[in-house]
Amino acid sequence: MSNTPEIVVRSEFEADSIGNAGTADVARKLSFFERLSDMDSVRKFSILLVLMVAWEMYTRLSGVSELMLPKFSDTAVALFNSLVYDDLLVMIKNSLSILVTGYAIGLVIATLLTTAAIMTRFGSDALSTLTAMLNPLPAIALLPLALLWFGLGSASVVFTLLHSVIWPVALNAHTGFMSVSDTQRMVGRNYGLRGVSYVVKLLIPAAFPSILMGLKVGWAYAWRTLIAAELVFGGAIADTSGTQSGGLGWFVFSNQMELQIPAVFAGLFTVILVGVFVESIIFTNIESRTVRRWGMQS
Amino acid sequence: MSDGSQAAADNSAAAAVGPILDVDGVTLQYKTKEHLITATYRVGFKVYPADRFVLLGPSGCGKSTLLKGVAGYLKPVEGNMRLKGVDIKEPGPDRVMVFQEFDQLLPWKTVKQNITFALMNGGRCKTQSEADDIAMEYIKKVKLDRFENTFPHMLSGGMKQRVAIARGMAMEPDVLLMDEPFAALDALTRLQMQEELLQLWEDTHFTVLFVTHSIEEALIVGSRILVLSPHPGQVKAELNAHHLNHANVGQPEFAALQQKIHNMLFADRILEDELVHEIVEAET
């Protein structure tokens, strides 16, 4: 007796007509709660809420010194007061204006480098070598040198920001251009695209996911570098730039010197809030309107 | 049917209308990282208006390379290729290519924008509204109305290829070049696409140069078939298949021609296997 199963031959049939599926609607609208729990922002905000409550409870119940860890409620009040009565808003503006300056100049230089890298083999080699060499160097480490070259002032900070913007942006853009598929390149040339129009109408959109990624990383690096620079040298920069207030990093540093610990936390929160605003509101919006809409997200 | 009468018919047609595409003694080579590969060796053929001309052969016979040559992406090292009597020098909108890969559609443009983009940049339309009208006309032809504002990543493989075909046809090129356009589709969709392509051809009798490695597809789609042998690609035969389509699949005439081509291609199968073996050994 063999264990190999034999085919069981059964009678054939064809369905006369297919009635309505009796089980449920073919497409059912999701309930309010289902849609709510699908929203990223709602889920993430609830995590924040849990953290806030845990913080408040811990500081109230454990009796930890207010100088070490102030209550969440105190921090919130300090943040409100700094925004309304103190000049925290001006400091945010100062920080952002230096950041935007550095970012914009960085983008111009990155564009030039990428163009050179695409056009010539030397440019490509130069870019990859420079990136490999300079990318591991934290931009803030250049600040002492920058102060030596450009003196105390925002020029030094802008210089360090350039370093944190150029390499990620140029590297990602270059990678993006290199990985545009041969088929898409051939399609572009087939429909008569040449030179500048080939770059603008085909290469840039095709490489856009990578370019956007570079812009994001560059921004994130620049923001961290800026705060660090202000934290260490903020006082000096604030004094010489003519404004009394300096930037966000200086706000944190000076409040720590004055033992205004809730204000220190408030300053750190502001740093986070501005960072989150740009990263998850501005960049996420650009993403959902472009690469995600096009199904190009890598 | 005798070969003599076919040749006579061929020649009388040739006298009445000249060939639209003339490929003469073309040798094509391309470089990989380690080898200089001769894809085709002194291949010649003539495509006449309204031809559904098929380049058929096993992988390695240089049929795709030949198509890229006609498209202008590759220059022959020997021989010449003329479109309407003019030497082919570079890619241009008078020879539109439909690729096998789905990413030939630009993902950042909708179905309609993909077509208008080609029309505007290819110089067929001056104004956007004119391009819009033509695009919609061809979208309807490939039965994709309702999807004109959809982005390509939302479409199925078959729909993507239909858009690519619509885009190619909308350009009204002298020759539509198709590089195994249905090879990445499932069997049922492929069958449907072949039928639809023939229906579209019935409308305007456009000229197609079609590359495939499927004998069946060649017989269904093609009106004339150039059979190529591999390593390097050389012309083995040029056959007529204008009298065959889906309706004839499985009929004796269809099967006989299928068998004939099969024998042609696999006569040197052993030789090919040896060659592949040598290349694999050389590369490892």
Residue B78 lies in a domain: yes
Closest to A213 in 3D by CA, of A249, A175, A244: A175
> What ipTM is given for this predicted complex?
0.80
Residue A107 pLDDT: 93
Residue B62 lies in a domain: yes
Planar angle of CA A172, A112, A213, nearest 5 degrees: 20
Residue A138 pLDDT: 87
Residue B198 lies in a domain: yes
User: Are B277 and B266 members of one domain?
Assistant: yes
pLDDT digits (tens, 9 = 90+) for B116-145: 988 888 877 788 888 888 888 888 888 888
Count CB pairs under 8 A between chains A and B.
64
Asked if the C-beta of B106 comes within 8 angstroms of chain A's C-beta atoms, the answer is yes
Residue A217 lies in a domain: yes
Residue A106 pLDDT: 93
Tokens of A154: 């925002």
Residue B127 pLDDT: 83
Query: Which of A186, A202, A294 shows the shortest C-beta gap to B97?
Result: A186
Query: Which of B95, B101, B153 shows the shortest C-beta gap to A183?
Result: B101
Asked if the C-beta of B73 comes within 8 angstroms of chain A's C-beta atoms, the answer is yes
Residue A233 lies in a domain: yes
- A290 CB neighbours in chain B (<8 A) are 108
Asked if the C-beta of A290 comes within 8 angstroms of chain B's C-beta atoms, the answer is yes
pLDDT digits (tens, 9 = 90+) for B142-199: 888 888 888 888 888 888 888 998 888 888 888 889 998 888 878 888 888 888 888 8
Residue A51 lies in a domain: no
Give the Cα separation of B115 and B141 in Å (integer).
13
Residue A265 lies in a domain: yes
| Residue with tokens 């390499």, as numbered in its chain | A167
Cα–Cα distances (Å) from B190 to A94, B111, B154, in that order, read 62, 20, 19
Tokens of B189: 């969709």
> What mean pLDDT do residues B59-75 have?
84
- B121 CB neighbours in chain A (<8 A) are 191-193, 197, 201
Of the listed ranges A72-81, A101-110, B90-99, B254-263, the one predicted with least confidence: B254-263
User: Are B10 and B117 members of one domain?
Assistant: no
Asked if the C-beta of B266 comes within 8 angstroms of chain A's C-beta atoms, the answer is no
Residue B276 pLDDT: 61
Residue B267 lies in a domain: yes
Taking 50 as the threshold, does the pLDDT of residue B1 lie above it?
no
> What mean pLDDT do residues B248-254 have?
79
CA A34 to chain CA centroid, Å, is 29
pLDDT range class, residue B274, cuts 50, 70, 90: low
Of the residues B120, B151, B172, the one at which a domain ends: B172
Residue B17 lies in a domain: yes
Domain count across chain A: 1
Count of CB atoms situated within 10 Å of the CB of A218: 24
Taking 90 as the threshold, does the pLDDT of residue B74 lie above it?
no
Are residues B99 and B178 in contact, defined by beta-carbon separation less than 8 angstroms? no
Give the gap in angstroms from C-alpha B163 to the nearest C-alpha of chain A.
14
Residue B60 pLDDT: 73
Residue A54 pLDDT: 92
Q: Looking at per-residue confidence, does B245 or A82 come out higher?
A: A82
User: Are B167 and B184 members of one domain?
Assistant: no
Residue A108 pLDDT: 94
Residue B2 pLDDT: 45
Domain of B233?
3-94+174-283
User: Are B143 and B193 members of one domain?
Assistant: no
**10-residue averages of pLDDT along chain A (298 residues):** 79 76 66 79 86 90 84 88 84 87 93 87 89 86 87 84 91 90 89 84 90 91 89 60 66 84 88 87 86 78
Q: At A262, which CATH number?
A: 1.10.3720.10
φ/ψ (deg, to 5) at B28: -120, 135
Give the Cα separation of A202 and A188 in Å (integer).
6
Q: What is the pTM of this model?
A: 0.77
User: Are B168 and B178 members of one domain?
Assistant: no
Instruction: Return residues 136-195 of A near B (CB < 8 Å).
Output: 181, 183-184, 186-187, 189-193
Give the gap in angstroms from C-alpha B195 to the nearest C-alpha of chain A.
25
Q: Which residue out of B99, B171, B172 would a mutagenesis test of the A interface target, given it has the greatest number of A Cβ atoms within 10 Å?
A: B99
Closest to B175 in 3D by CA, of B154, B219, B146, B206: B206
User: Are B167 and B241 members of one domain?
Assistant: no
pLDDT range class, residue B205, cuts 50, 70, 90: confident
CB contact (8 A) between residue B121 and residue A197: yes
Domain count across chain B: 2
Residue A273 lies in a domain: yes
Domain of A167?
70-289
Tokens of B133: 């009208």
Q: Which residue out of A184, A191, A293 would a mutagenesis test of the B interface target, given it has the greatest number of B Cβ atoms within 10 Å?
A: A191
